[in-house]
Structure 1
Amino acid sequence: MATIPFSLRIDPEIKAQLTQEAERADRTPSYLANQAIKIFLQAKTAKRKAIDKAVEEADKGIFISEGAVNAWVDSWGTENELPVPEPDIFPDAQ
């Protein structure tokens, strides 16, 4: 993929660390910065997708009550450990 120039201001300490890491990796600082930005953007995209999916699920109005979750967590490590609770809160039928 072709690249284009892009400049940004960074703290001197970050530039020094980037340069040092680039030397260790036998890469250019711009290559490492590009990789870091790419990974950052991929993580942000994945997080946004996860949030969108969670909101979509929440909009359905089906949840597990606090009491059921607390009982389940309280049972962890005991002889009578409970299974993962099932949803027990449902939207009103319309």
Structure 2
Amino acid sequence: MAEALKTVTAQLPVNLVARMDDLATKLDRSKQWIVRKAVVAYLARAERERQMIQEGLDDVTAGRLLSMDAMERWADSLGTDHELPLPKVGE
């Protein structure tokens, strides 16, 4: 069964549409195909970013934190002969 579709309109800058036209020609694809790919990619990235932010907020709420001093010591050790292991929660 085919996926239900809905038309959405958006005003875009002329130069962006020109770039889209150029790419559509080069790829032998429609502008609709390019827009759909772009929206799918953007939503996936934005949803993942929001998920990662929520995970971080959940860690803060649960008290799963690292001190700035522990992180700075670890970061300062990177690239040296005595790299420290990644700090653990509570350090």
Q: Structure 2: any 5+ residue segments left out of the alignment?
A: none
Of 15, 18, 24, which aligns to 1:16? 18
- Sequence identity (%): 24
In the TM superposition, what whole-angstrom CA distance separates every residue of 1:27-68 from its partner, at most 9, and x where no partner exists? 001110111011111111111111111111111113111111
Find the counterpart in structure 2 of residue 61 from structure 1.
63
Large movers: runs of 4+ above 3 Å: none
Pick which of 70-79 and 22-31 moved more. 70-79
How many residues of Structure 1 are paired with residues of Structure 2 in the alignment? Answer: 89
Greater RCO (CA < 8 Å, at least 6 residues apart): 1
Deviation at 1:3, TM superposition (A): 2.2
Return the TM-score normalized by structure 2.
Answer: 0.87
- Largest Rg, 1 or 2: 1
For structure 1, the residue ranges without an aligned partner over 5 or more in a row are 90-94
Over the residues paired in the alignment, what is the CA RMSD in angstroms? 1.3
TM-score w.r.t. the length of structure 1 is 0.85
